[in-house]
Chains A and B, each alone.
Chain A
C-alpha cells in the first residue's frame, strides 16, 4: 500500500516582510519552503512505509505562481523531503493555481490520489495559512475517513490506531484504510538528511505536471491588510539591579503594575 504525503509550498512567514506604515506585504520577495509540520508528516510516512510496504510519495500543488524562482523553490522543497527517505514526488504547477481555493486544490489533489494510495498524511495546518481545511476537504472528496491532530500512529493489520490531542482530552481512535490523517509537530522528530542523501534525492523521480483548474473557486481574497501592532521596542540598559528597577518604573508609568 502506498502513502501520499501532502507537501505545500508555503511562504516562509518568518522571512516575510510587511510594512505597517504603507500596508505593503512583500509576498514576491519572501522565500517559500515546505512547512515544518509537513516534515513531521514526511518522517511519519518514512517510518510507516517500512511496516506497510509500498512506496511513500510527496505530492505538491504549487500555488505560488509559475515563475522560475517559485518553480526552483518548489523543486528544492520536494528534494528536501525526498532526502528524508521518500521514494518520489509529484509537482503540479501552472498558471491559475494561485487563484485556487481549498475547494479547487482538494479536487485537483484528489485526482492525483484516488485509486493510487491507501493513506494520505498531511500537516494539521500549513505554515502560511494554518487552516487544516485542505486535508479535511480532500477526505470528503475521496469519501475517506479523516482523523486530524495525530500525535502517534500505529499500524495494526488493515487499520491504524491513531492517538490525537484535543483541547480537553486525548483520544485514541481506530480507523480502516484508506484514510486521511493530519499530524501535529509533536508526533516525531524529523530526521535531518545528510549531504549524500540530498545528492541522491536529486536523482529520485520528480514528476512535474501541468495544473488545470477542475472547478471554479468558491472563495476569493479581496484584500490583504497588515495589522497595526505598535511596540515601543525600548531596550532596558544597566546591570541586573538597575534593569529590574528601570523596568518596574516603566511598568508603573504604563499603569500596569
Chain B
C-alpha cells in the first residue's frame, strides 16, 4: 500500500512516517520551510520536496496534497489544528473517506480499519473506511523510526488563485516542559478566583518536580496561561504518573484528556463534581485551605 504523509510540524511528520509504515511505503511531503530538517527523516521510502510552497499556505497545501494523492491509497496528516483543517478538504476533493485523531490503523479486506475516541471520550469507535482514505493520526502515538534513508524527489508547487490571504502571524510564547511528556502534572480549573492565586498550584508543582496544566476556560477564555497547556479533547492529552486536578469540575471534554494518567487526585469543594468519578483519591475541600498545607507537608518530606 502507498501512503502519502504531511505535517506542518516536522516532529509530528516523523511520527506519521512511523504510523504509515504499518500500512506500507511512505512518501513524506516536505515544504520549503521544512527543507532544513530533511536529514532527520528516517524510515520513509521517499521525501517529496516542494521548494515552491511554504507550510503556512493552507490553500496551496490542499491543492498540492489533493493533486499528489491520486497515486496513493492513504493520506496521513497530523492531528494538530492545521492538520485537521486539511483532512476534510483533501478527503472531499478526492471523494475519499476521512477520520481524525486516529489511534490505531490496519488494513482488512481492502478496507482501512481505524480506532478513534468519540462521544467526548466516553467511547472508542472502530471504523471501516473505504480506500482512498484521508486521516489524521493522534499525537504521540507512534515513535519516529530511527533507520532507513529516503530518496528525495522534487515536486512542483501548484499554481492557483488564493482566496485566503494571511495578513499577520504572531508567535505564541513557548512553554517549558511539554505537558504530554511530564511525569507529574497539577491541573487547574476555574475554582481559582484570580490569576495570582495560580501561585498555589505552581508551588505544589515545584515541590513535586511537576508542571502546571489547565482546563480550557482557564487557558483560552481567561488567558491566565498559555494555550498549549489546556488539557482535553480539544487540547493536549496527558499520561503522567501523577495528576492532581484542582478546582476543575471534570466535564467530559476535560476528562477525555486525562484517561491515560496513572494516579489521579482531585481537589474540589463540590462533593458531587464529576471529577471525583475520574479520580483515585478525592479531597472535598477548599483549594485555598488545602493546597498550602499539602505543599508545606510535601516540602518537609522532600527537604529532609
Chain A residues whose CB sits within 8 angstroms of the CB of B294 once the complex forms? 244, 247-248
Q: Is the CB of A173 within 8 A of B167?
A: yes
Distance to closest chain A CB from B152 (angstroms): 26
Least CB distance, A113 to chain B, in whole angstroms: 14
Which of B81, B117, B279 is in CB contact (< 8 Å) with A231?
A: B279
Q: Closest residue of chain B to A218, judged by CB? A: B97
A231–B280 touching, CB < 8 Å? yes
User: How far apart are the CA atoms of A180 and B60 in the complex, in Å?
Assistant: 17
Secondary structure of the B contact surface, majority rule: mixed
Question: Are B293 and A233 interface neighbours, CB within 8 A?
Answer: no
**Which chain A residues numbered 152 to 192 have a C-beta less than 8 Å away from chain B?**
161, 165-176, 179, 184-186
Number of A-B contacts (CB under 8 A): 246
Interface size class of chain B, counting residues whose CB lies under 8 Å from the partner chain: 35 or more
Q: Tell me, yes or no, whether A54 is within 8 Å of chain B by CB.
A: no
Indicate if the CB atoms of B280 and A248 lie closer than 8 Å. Answer: no
A146 interface neighbour in B85, B95, B276, Cβ under 8 Å = B85
Whether, in the assembled complex, A139 has its beta carbon less than 8 Å from a beta carbon of chain B, the answer is yes
Q: Are A219 and B298 in contact (CB under 8 A)?
A: no
Do A219 and B97 contact each other (CB < 8 Å), given the known contacts A145-B59, A171-B169, A174-B167? yes
CB-defined contacts of B234 to chain A, threshold 8 Å: 124-125, 130
Q: Which 8 A-B pairs have the closest CB atoms?
A: A136-B88, A13-B120, A140-B92, A218-B97, A172-B168, A133-B88, A145-B163, A232-B280
Name B residues whose Cβ lies closer than 8 Å to a Cβ of A: 59, 62, 80-82, 84-89, 91-93, 95-101, 113, 117-130, 133, 163-172, 174, 184, 208, 216, 220-221, 227-228, 233-234, 241-242, 251-253, 259, 262-265, 271, 274, 276-285, 289-290, 293-294, 297-298, 301
Given contacts A133-B88, A161-B167, A257-B242, 18 further A-B contacts (CB under 8 A): A103-B98, A132-B84, A133-B98, A141-B92, A168-B172, A174-B167, A175-B165, A176-B163, A186-B220, A227-B122, A231-B278, A232-B281, A233-B277, A233-B280, A243-B290, A248-B294, A248-B297, A250-B281
